[in-house]
Amino acid sequence: MPDQRILLAVLAHPDDETFGTGGTLALYAREGAQVYLVCATRGEVGEMDPKYMDGFTSVAERREHELRCAAARLGLSEVYFLNYRDSGMPGSPDNSHPDALAFQPQAKVAADVAHYIRLLKPQVVITFDPIGGYRHPDHIAIHKATVQAFHDASIPENASDGLPSHQAARLYFQTIPRTFLRLIVRVLPLFGRNPRKFGTNHDIDLVSIAEVDFPVHVEVNFAPVATIRDEASACHASQGGASPSGGGLMNRVRRWIFSKELYMRAYPPVQPGEKRSKDLFEDTGV
């Protein structure tokens, strides 16, 4: 169906699809697009409170369960796993595990991603920004592999899976709102928190992340599906996904403020004078 809109998100762990791009995926799915997810790992080394392990034999099993719950809420057409292992945060021993995503040759991972681009034939592909949002090794690895795969998928000689080549129309990087992030960096010390040692394990340097600025070319307003995004977030309870808090005034205000997801366009190159868009499919012909 040449007029069928198809979006492919290529990400690293269960919960990336919801916490970073959930509003976008839910919005396009509700509008009738086929929305697919390629997830590189099952989040094997993510933090997990023992209370969430009842009925599950491993962290990976629990997190895959949460992802499939979120995928159903978001309206995804299908989820595909690349079956690599979670690499953990920078400097952890898991970085060097032979099956870890960050330990793999980029060309190997790119070939896996290119297979799904040829198979699904999306007009739009989205992944992380060049620093992986917050410098997670897996986010950076899948970013680099997706950039290579986006171009490799269009070259017939690179197709070893028997599928025809495919040139997607757009490649976007999802990125974090820097203005809000810089505000957090300034406010945290007032509450005795070190923005250079953020997160449960104090291994996220918000200052260094806030200093890297990426241009925003598309701003997706997902307010119409904010409730759906919240429901998907609740599926990831083991990773801090909050349950929807109802329809009170504060909840409506929160959804209004945090109802936009931002994207940098990597392909085709942005021309001087181009205005910020509100649609990832703009000028793709569908």
Q: Kindly tell me if the per-residue pLDDT of 75 is higher than 90.
A: yes
**Does the pLDDT value for residue 200 go beyond 80?**
no
61, pLDDT greater than 70: yes
Domain boundaries defined on the chain: 6-178+214-267
pLDDT (average), residues 223-245: 87
Higher pLDDT, 46 or 74: 74
CATH of domain 6-178+214-267: 3.40.50.10320
Q: What is the mean pLDDT of the chain?
A: 91
| Ramachandran area for residue 275 (φ above 0: left; ψ -120 to 50: alpha; else beta) | beta
Judged on CB neighbours under 10 Å (0-12, 13-18, 19+), 243 is exposed
Mean pLDDT: which of 91-95, 155-159, 181-185, 213-217 is highest?
213-217
Nearest CA among 26, 112, 19 for reference residue 63: 19
- What tokens were used for 105? 């040759």
For residue 127, what are the β-bridge partners?
A: 173
* Assigned token pair, 68: 């499939």
Please report the pLDDT score of residue 244 as a whole number: 52
Distance CA 255, CA 266 (A): 28
Residue 236's pLDDT band, with cuts at 50, 70 and 90, is: very high
How far is CA 58 from each of CA 71, 93, 137, 183, 235, rounded to the nearest angstrom? Answer: 20, 19, 22, 38, 17
Helices (H) and strands (E) in the chain — how many of each? 10, 7
% the chain with pLDDT above 90: 73
Q: Which of 115, 106, 122, 108 is nearest to 167 (CA)?
A: 122
Give the integer Cα–Cα distance in Å for 163 and 233. 35
- In angstroms, the CA 268 to CA 282 distance is 12
Q: Is the pLDDT of residue 59 over 70?
A: yes
Q: What's residue 246's pLDDT?
A: 45
